[in-house]
């Protein structure tokens, strides 16, 4: 597996025996949050923490808006609040949120506005706290906040879910996660709620370190066999507990009953094998991980290696390089060490970086990283070793040319040799004891005497202390000891097609035929292979095989490793023609029987220039092979008083010599022009750096504006939801007032009309434009000259008034005046109701008249 930062999942906090779901959203996320919480079943047994980009200067209405979407308890998070199941916690404005010991922790943000990543911050703490119980969900939002947090959750065995970008109001955040390949499932918010309900992680059962006969055909071994058949990589060598957790994770994602069901699922779904392979290869790496260890390597190890480099070249191998960050880190600190080595130091570092994951190698070759690497690198290193490109940072050409990337399985492929530095950080922790012992022996064989082994912070050399001596125990940096290992004791990897992932133990213990084959192949390469060099398209020498001193020699002056400058005699002219021809035609160019030297030292050789197309890691390079040929010596025949070489031949030789001299002068002029162009290019690069600096400032301003825009979008969504709520409340109030059929007038403290019901227009001559006018200006039918005075009395005394008032057309009303109180219990006007009692008054008059009239006579 590629390098990782943790040795494996640990149990979650003892106080929280239930999953915690972190939900990240940004602009346009309110609707998605409502849909998601609406789909969460009652009594789910999970806790939900909502992290959203909020305006730091404004109170959030998100909790009260979410209470209408779910029957669960919705609370605004408070410092040291104990988290409970079936509750929803919402981040407050202007705070960062973390989970520690089962409690929510509120922290002051490092920046009040701008580049704040609260979702990443909480997700990382959630991953550390909950491990495999953690669930991270990314909903609608702008930017890429949450991507690195989900990566941390997946590294520890948690579940990562993402809203379908097509359903998101703002798809940037979901799209960033999908592009990074971190999503276990992509669905709509409502569907995501159903997916988490089936997430019930449980620890993997113990698996024996080496399965016996009874377990040979177990489900676990079958999965390893399927992986080997599909990918060619044997995962049975890795720690069973670590691999089993990854199996359990895929089982939980697909909601299968157990590992036996997963075997059947793998057999019927070949694409799942590829997904499982990617699951096992989650690369965890970063620039300058463990800064103290890199500082020790740069300050205490590299200077001595640079001073001791006799041939001007150091070789390094970065095993398990993932996406290339550690390989480029090594190249950067070597460049900085060369700055302090003095002007006379001329040492180059060739780095071979390998990994099991071909996709990670492809990304590493691009050398393009997101803008978040600015958090890992100092501004000086970022400006020196990176250039802005495609919205991120690309490694500069000088660093990129130092590294050659290639797919490689350290347990199955032959190792690199004659190394000065070997880094293998956090790879051995995933292997069993036997593979670790084998690989450490291989590393000892690969390093030169005195070479450096650099391991991860969680690794050690174990029982190989006789092979390596620690230079700095805390940094895990070791020096190779000059201990002779028996060639038969070193188990050299040799990938052989058709070999099962779990061969018979009797066969695997007897590796003598494989070792003999390896030794024989090495002997053939050393004794019988022709001298050859590997160059790039410009002729710069990258690799030398065999003894090439008879054909190449370093040119005097400034060190120049170009084959055109190093070629002897006529080889120079032949290479200047053959190398471009081979690249242009993509075919092998062979020059036969070249003579090199003079007199008895004359050598005859065939020159072969072969352009490389496969493997992909060497594509575009050229292999130049020097093959010496034997020619029979013949005595010169004499003519009548004349040697064989007559005057014409001498003239042709002289012309050829002059042509060669002219070609050499032309080439020197071309090199001079090249230097002038290089100087002009450096000036342009300086101008470009200034423009890049200006562009960085503009980019920072743009990102701050984007962050502010997200906060405004969130506020706007909350306000829109509140407006909708008020509109509904207003409609309800209007219908209540109309249904009572009671004339009602609302006035403010200045006795200006605030609102009136339709029934009130029978008493007052109201029109819609009268809102805001003084009530005394409105014509009415009441015989009530003291109306305004009574309203003012009610506002002063807060005691309601009730009177029976007649109208000019003979009607009667009970006029009730009461104070108008707000939700904060503040008097802000008066409410006047008019209850029609005309019929009651009419009946009362009739009864009174009946009582007063004399009784009829006899």
Distance CA 260, CA 256 (A): 9
Distance CA 259, CA 617 (A): 38
- At 54, is the secondary structure helix, strand, or coil? coil
CA dihedral for 218, 223, 227, 230, sign (positive or negative): positive
Quick one: residue 696, left, alpha or beta (phi over 0 = left, psi -120 to 50 = alpha)?
alpha
Integer angstrom CA distances of residue 299 from 316, 333, 399: 17, 9, 19
Nearest Cα to Cα of residue 6 among 194, 197, 153: 153
Distance CA 207, CA 87 (A): 37
How far separated are the first and last CA of the chain, in Å rounded?
Answer: 124
Please give the helix or strand (H or E) that residue 806 lies within, else none. Answer: strand 801-806
Nearest Cα to Cα of residue 291 among 377, 359, 418, 205: 377
- At 257, is the secondary structure helix, strand, or coil? coil
What DSSP string runs through 573-632? Answer: HHHHHHHHHHHHHTS-EEEEEEEESSGGG-EEEEEEEEE--SSGGGTT-EEEEEEE----
Q: Which residues contact 720 (CB under 8 A, 6 or more apart)?
A: none
Distance CA 695, CA 506 (A): 65
- The one catalytic residue in 3, 26, 60, 236 is 26
Distance CA 545, CA 753 (A): 99
User: Could you tell me where the beta strands, DSSP code E, fall in 362-426?
Assistant: 368-369, 386-389, 392-395, 403-407, 419-424
- The one catalytic residue in 145, 234, 290, 355 is 145
Distance CA 744, CA 759 (A): 7
- Cis peptide bond upstream of 615, omega within 30: yes
Cα-based torsion angle of the residue sequence 454, 459, 461, 462 in order, rounded to the nearest 10 degrees = 180
As given in the structure block, the two tokens for residue 407 are 């797919």
Nearest Cα to Cα of residue 619 among 574, 583, 577: 583
Query: Beta-carbon neighbour count of residue 159 at 10 Å?
Result: 25
Nearest Cα to Cα of residue 806 among 796, 815, 797: 815
Widest pairwise Cα distance in the chain: 193
As given in the structure block, the two tokens for residue 233 are 């990589």
Integer angstrom CA distances of residue 316 from 420, 758, 760, 810, 832: 6, 89, 92, 109, 90
CA 444 to chain centre: 34
As given in the structure block, the two tokens for residue 533 are 């060099």
Whether residue 145 lies in the annotated active site: yes
Nearest Cα to Cα of residue 579 among 609, 549, 548, 620: 609
Query: Beta-carbon neighbour count of residue 653 at 10 Å?
Result: 11
As given in the structure block, the two tokens for residue 543 are 């690799």
Helix axes 647-740 and 571-585, enclosed angle (nearest 10): 40
Q: Which residues contact 357 (CB under 8 A, 6 or more apart)?
A: 2, 278, 281, 283, 322, 407
Nearest Cα to Cα of residue 73 among 60, 61, 90, 97: 90
Distance CA 771, CA 748 (A): 11
Tell me which residues are annotated as active site.
26, 53, 145
């Amino acid at each position: 597996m590629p390098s990782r930062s943790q040795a494996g999942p640990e149990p979650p906090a003892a106080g929280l025996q239930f999953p915690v779901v972190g939900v990240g959203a940004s602009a346009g996320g309110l609707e998605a949050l409502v849909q998601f919480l609406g789909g969460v079943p009652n009594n789910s047994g999970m806790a939900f923490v909502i992290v959203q980009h909020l305006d730091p200067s404004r109170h959030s209405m998100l909790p009260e808006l979410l209470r209408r979407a779910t029957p669960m308890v919705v609370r605004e998070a408070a410092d040291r609040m104990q988290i409970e199941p079936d509750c929803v916690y919402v981040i407050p404005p202007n705070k960062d949120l973390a989970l520690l010991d089962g409690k929510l922790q509120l922290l002051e943000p490092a920046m009040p506005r701008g580049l704040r990543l609260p979702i990443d911050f909480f997700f990382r703490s959630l991953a550390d706290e909950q491990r495999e119980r953690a669930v991270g969900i990314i909903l609608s939002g702008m930017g890429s906040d949450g991507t690195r947090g989900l990566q941390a959750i997946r590294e520890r065995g948690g579940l990562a879910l993402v809203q379908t970008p097509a359903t998101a109001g703002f798809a940037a955040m979901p799209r960033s996660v999908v592009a990074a390949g971190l999503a276990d499932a992509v669905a709509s918010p409502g569907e995501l709620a159903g997916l988490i309900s089936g997430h019930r992680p449980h620890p993997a059962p113990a698996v024996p370190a080496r399965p016996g006969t009874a377990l040979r055909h177990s489900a676990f071994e079958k999965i390893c066999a399927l992986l080997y058949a599909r990918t060619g990589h044997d995962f049975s060598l890795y720690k069973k507990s670590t691999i089993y957790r990854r199996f359990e994770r895929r089982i939980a994602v697909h909601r299968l009953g157990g590992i036996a069901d997963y075997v059947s699922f793998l057999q019927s779904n070949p694409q799942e094998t590829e997904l499982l392979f990617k699951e096992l290869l989650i690369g965890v790496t970063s620039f300058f991980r463990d800064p103290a260890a890199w500082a020790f390597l740069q300050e205490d190890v590299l200077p001595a290696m640079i001073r001791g480099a006799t041939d001007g070249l150091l070789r390094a191998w970065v095993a398990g390089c993932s996406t290339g960050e550690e390989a480029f880190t090594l190249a950067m600190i070597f460049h900085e060490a060369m700055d302090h080595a003095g002007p006379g130091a001329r040492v180059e570092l060739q780095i071979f970086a390998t990994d099991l994951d071909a996709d990670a190698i492809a990304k590493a070759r691009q050398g393009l990283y997101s803008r978040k690497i600015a958090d890992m690198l100092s501004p000086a290193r970022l400006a020196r070793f990176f250039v802005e490109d495609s919205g991120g940072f690309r490694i500069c050409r000088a660093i990129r040319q130092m590294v050659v990337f290639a797919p490689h399985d350290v347990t199955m492929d032959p190792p690199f040799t004659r190394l000065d530095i070997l880094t293998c950080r956090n790879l051995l922790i995933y292997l069993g004891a036997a593979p670790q012992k084998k690989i450490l022996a291989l590393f000892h064989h690969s390093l030169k005497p005195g070479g450096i082994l650099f391991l991860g912070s969680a690794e050690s050399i174990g029982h190989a202390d006789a092979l390596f001596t620690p230079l700095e125990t805390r940094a895990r940096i070791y020096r190779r000891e000059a201990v002779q290992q028996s060639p038969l004791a070193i188990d050299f990897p040799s990938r052989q097609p058709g070999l099962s992932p779990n061969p018979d133990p009797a066969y695997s213990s007897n590796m003598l035929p494989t070792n003999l084959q390896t030794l024989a192949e090495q002997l053939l390469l050393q004794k019988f292979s022709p001298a050859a060099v590997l160059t790039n398209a410009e002729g710069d020498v990258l690799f030398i095989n065999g003894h090439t001193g008879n054909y190449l020699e370093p040119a005097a002056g400034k060190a120049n490793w170009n084959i055109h400058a190093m070629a002897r005699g006529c080889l120079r002219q032949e290479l200047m023609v053959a190398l471009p021809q081979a690249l242009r035609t993509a075919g092998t160019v062979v020059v036969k029987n070249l003579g090199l030297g003079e007199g008895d030292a004359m050598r005859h050789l065939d020159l072969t220039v072969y352009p490389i197309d496969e493997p992909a890691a060497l594509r575009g390079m050229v292999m130049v092979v020097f093959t010496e040929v034997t020619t029979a010596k013949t005595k010169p025949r004499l003519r009548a008083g004349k040697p064989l070489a007559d005057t014409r031949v001498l003239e042709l030789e002289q012309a050829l010599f002059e042509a060669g001299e002219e070609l050499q002068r032309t080439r020197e002029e071309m090199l001079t022009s090249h230097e002038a162009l290089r100087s002009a290019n450096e000036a342009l690069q300086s101008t470009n750096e200034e423009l890049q600096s200006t562009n960085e400032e503009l980019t920072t301003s743009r990102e701050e504006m984007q962050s502010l825009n997200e906060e405004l979008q969130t506020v706007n969504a909350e306000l829109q939801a509140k407006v909708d709520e008020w509109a509904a409340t207003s409609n309800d109030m209007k219908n209540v007032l109309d249904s009572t059929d009671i004339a009602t007038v609302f006035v403010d403290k200045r006795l200006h009309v605030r609102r009136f019901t339709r029934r009130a227009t029978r008493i007052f001559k109201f029109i819609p434009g009268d809102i805001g006018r003084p009530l005394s200006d409105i014509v009415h039918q009441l015989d009530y000259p003291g109306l305004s005075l009574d309203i003012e009395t009610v506002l002063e005394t807060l005691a309601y008034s009730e009177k029976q008032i007649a109208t000019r057309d003979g009607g009667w009303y009970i006029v009730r005046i009461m104070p108008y109180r707000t939700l904060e219990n503040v008097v802000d006007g008066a409410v006047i109701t008019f209850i029609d009692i005309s019929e009651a008054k009419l009946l009362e008059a009739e009864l009174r008249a009946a009582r007063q009239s004399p009784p009829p006579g006899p």
